[in-house]
A and B are shown apart, each in its own frame.
Chain A
Amino acid sequence: MSKEEHRIVKGQVMVPYELALGRTWCHFFDCLKEEKIMGKKCRKCSRVLVPPRSFCPRCFEDMEEWVEVSQEGVVETWVYVNMPFFAQELKIPFISAQIRLDGSDSGFIHQIAGIDLSDFDKVRERVKLGDRVRAVWSTEKKGNILDIAYFEPVK
C-alpha cells in the first residue's frame, strides 16, 4: 500500500463549547473550594455517589441528600500514564486512579502524586491496589476538579 501513497492534507480543528454545570455540580465544586468532598445519597438504593448526581441513574429518582464523604479512601485501581498525546492536560508521567472514598459507593477518578513518579518500578512498590490514599488540596482554588491537587499514599 505504501507504494501507492497519495497526498495527505494536514489540518487542525478547534470547536469551542461552554457547558452548564447545573446546580448539583456547582455545589460540588463550591464545596471543593472549602476543602469538602460532597456526594449525594439516593434515598431508594442508599448509594452515595461521588461525583454527585441530581438523580440516581439506577433508581431514576431525584437525589436530594448531600453527604460529605471522607477525604481518604482505598485505591481500587490505577494506571501509570507515560504516553504523550495531543492536548493532554496533565504532564506525564502521572498516575490516574480510581479511589473509593470512605462513605461513598462509587469509584472516584483522580490522580495519585506526592511521590517520586520518575521510576515506574519504584512507583509500583509505593502504590498498591487496596492501599489507602488521602486528598491533598491545592492552595489556590479555582472551583474545578484540580482543587484537589492529588491523592497521596497514607503512610
Chain B
Amino acid sequence: MAKEYRTIRNDVALPYQWALGKTWTRFFDGLKEEQIWGTKCTHCSRTYVPARTFCPDCFTDRTEWVPVKPEGKIVSWTLVKATYHGQVKPPPYIIALIQLSGTDCGFHHFIGGVETENIKKLRQKLKKGAKVKAVWNPEKKADIYDIAYFAPVK
C-alpha cells in the first residue's frame, strides 16, 4: 500500500442499465442518422439541444421537435491535461461549449482536428465565436460519441 499508515482498498463497482426515456431515445436515434434534434418550447420559444421532454424554464411539455444544424460557434472551451480515475479519454483533449445554430443554449462536446501542442495558436483558432462543425463517427452506436467531435471550419 502506498500510504505510510494502514488503509484498506475499497473499490465500489456496480453495474447499471440506464433508461433513456422517449426523448433521449429519439435524440440518440437521430445522431445515428447524422441528425441533431432539439426541442422548441411553444411557450417561451427557446430551443434546447439535446432535445428535452419539457422546457426547463417553463416546466411545460408543450415542446416541438426541431432539427438542428450540426454547426455552430464556440462559446468557451478548455484544453484538458489533467488525469484522473475514470477519465473519458487520455489527455490532452479539448472540451467545448458550442452554441449550435438556431438554438438558445450551449452544447457540450469535444473539439478535434486541431493541434494541441501550441496553446497560443490554439487560442487563435478557437476564439469566441469561431465556427465549428460536427465530424461524425463512421461507426454509430446511437450515443453521444456518434458525433466524434466538432472541428473548426476554415
Contacts and interface: CB of A to CB of B under 8 A. Distances in A.
Nearest to B21: A6
Contacts of B18: 8-11
Interface of A: 4, 6-21, 26, 29, 86-87, 144
Contact of A12 (B9, B16, B21, B22): B16
B20 interface: yes
Interface string B1-24: 101011111111111111111100
A87 B20 contact: no
A11 B16 contact: yes
A29 B7 CA distance: 12
A86 B15 contact: yes
B149 interface: no
Contacts, number: 80
Interface residues of B, number: 26
B120 interface: no
A15 to B, nearest CB: 5
14 contacts: A7-B19, A8-B17, A12-B14, A13-B13, A14-B13, A15-B12, A15-B85, A16-B9, A16-B10, A16-B12, A18-B1, A18-B7, A20-B5, A21-B7
A4 B21 CA distance: 9
Contact of B12 (A6, A7, A11, A14): A14
Nearest to B18: A9
A19 B11 CA distance: 10
Contacts of A14: 11-14, 86
A144 B8 contact: yes
B87 to A, nearest CB: 13
A5 to B, nearest CB: 9
B142 A13 contact: no
Contacts of B12: 13-17
Nearest to B141: A9
A12 to B, nearest CB: 5
Contacts of B19: 6-8
Contacts of A12: 13-16
Contacts of B25: 6-7
B10 A18 contact: yes
Given A9-B17, A18-B8, A87-B14, 15 more contacts: A6-B20, A6-B25, A8-B19, A10-B18, A11-B18, A12-B14, A12-B16, A13-B12, A13-B13, A13-B86, A16-B9, A16-B85, A20-B6, A21-B6, A26-B6
